[in-house]
C-alpha cells in the first residue's frame, strides 16, 4: 500500500526556487546525482571494511542509462541503498531555514546554493517533470521502496520490486530538456564532471568513465 505525505520544508517555494535560481547551471544536476550514487558505493566499502556489512560488495559501479522512448534518464548504483525510514529522513526532510535570504545573496551561484542546502538530489527537478527513487537497503531483510514526486511538495512512497541492494534515480525529463537524453550531451557531461570519481561510471555499451 502506498503512503503519501509532504516534503518537510519550511517554504512551499522549494521547487520554483530550484527552477528559477539554478536554471542557468542546470547541467550540474548529473554531477550531483552521480556523486550521490558514488557516495552510496563508498559507504558500502566502509561498512564492509569495518565488518558491519558482511556480504559481498561485488564490483561497485554507477550506471547511467537514457531511454528516449520512455523519456527517462536513470542513474543506478549498487551501494548501501535506503530503507523507507531513511528515505523519509534523507529525502523528505530538507534543512531549508533562512532560504530566501541566502538565495537572494547567492542567486547567481547554483553550486553554492545546492551545496549549502544539501539539495544535490533535488537538482534533478531542474530538468525533470517527475522523479522516482527505487531503492533497497543493504540491511538484511530490507524491503525495497519506491518514492515518487512530481516537482511539488507532495510525494508517495510504496513497496517496490528490486532484487539487489542499491538505488535507481529515474528522472522523467521535461519536454524542453530533451537534450539530456542525447548521447553526445550525456557523454560530454560525464566527461566534464565524472572523469575522476573513485568508482567506475558506465554509460552505454562501451563507454566507461573511471
Contact 135, 82 (CB under 8 A): yes
pLDDT > 90 in the chain, percent: 52
Task: Convert the pLDDT of each residue in 123-176 to its tens digit.
Answer: 898 899 999 999 999 999 999 999 999 977 788 999 999 999 999 999 999 999
Task: Convert the pLDDT of each residue in 18-37 to its tens digit.
Answer: 666 555 577 889 998 999 99
Query: How many helical (H) and strand (E) elements, i.e. helices and strands, does the chain have?
Result: 6, 9
Alpha-carbon distances of 89 from 66, 82, 93, 105, 194, rounded to whole Å: 29, 10, 6, 28, 27
Residue 170 has which C-alpha cell?
Answer: 529515474
Q: What is the mean pLDDT of residues 48-63?
A: 92
Amino acid at each position: 500500500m502506498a503512503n503519501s505525505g509532504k516534503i518537510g520544508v519550511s517554504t512551499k517555494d522549494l521547487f520554483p526556487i530550484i527552477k528559477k535560481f539554478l536554471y542557468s547551471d542546470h547541467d550540474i544536476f548529473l554531477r550531483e546525482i552521480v556523486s550521490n550514487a558514488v557516495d552510496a558505493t563508498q559507504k558500502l566499502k566502509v561498512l564492509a571494511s569495518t565488518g558491519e556489512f558482511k556480504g559481498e560488495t561485488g564490483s561497485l559501479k554507477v550506471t547511467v542509462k537514457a531511454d528516449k522512448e520512455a523519456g527517462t534518464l536513470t542513474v543506478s548504483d549498487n551501494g548501501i541503498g535506503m530503507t523507507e525510514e531513511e528515505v523519509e529522513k534523507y529525502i523528505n526532510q530538507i534543512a531549508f531555514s533562512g532560504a530566501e535570504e541566502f538565495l537572494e545573496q547567492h542567486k547567481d551561484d547554483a553550486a553554492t546554493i545546492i551545496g549549502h542546502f544539501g539539495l544535490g538530489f533535488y537538482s534533478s527537478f531542474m530538468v525533470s517533470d517527475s522523479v522516482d527513487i527505487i531503492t533497497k537497503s543493504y540491511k538484511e531483510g530490507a524491503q525495497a521502496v519506491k518514492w515518487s514526486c512530481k516537482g511539488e511538495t507532495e510525494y508517495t512512497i510504496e513497496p517496490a520490486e528490486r532484487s539487489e541492494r542499491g538505488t535507481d534515480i529515474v528522472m522523467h525529463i521535461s519536454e524542453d530538456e530533451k537534450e539530456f537524453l542525447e548521447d553526445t550531451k550525456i557523454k560530454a557531461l560525464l566527461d566534464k564532471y565524472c572523469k575522476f570519481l573513485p568508482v567506475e561510471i558506465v554509460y552505454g555499451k562501451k563507454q566507461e568513465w573511471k
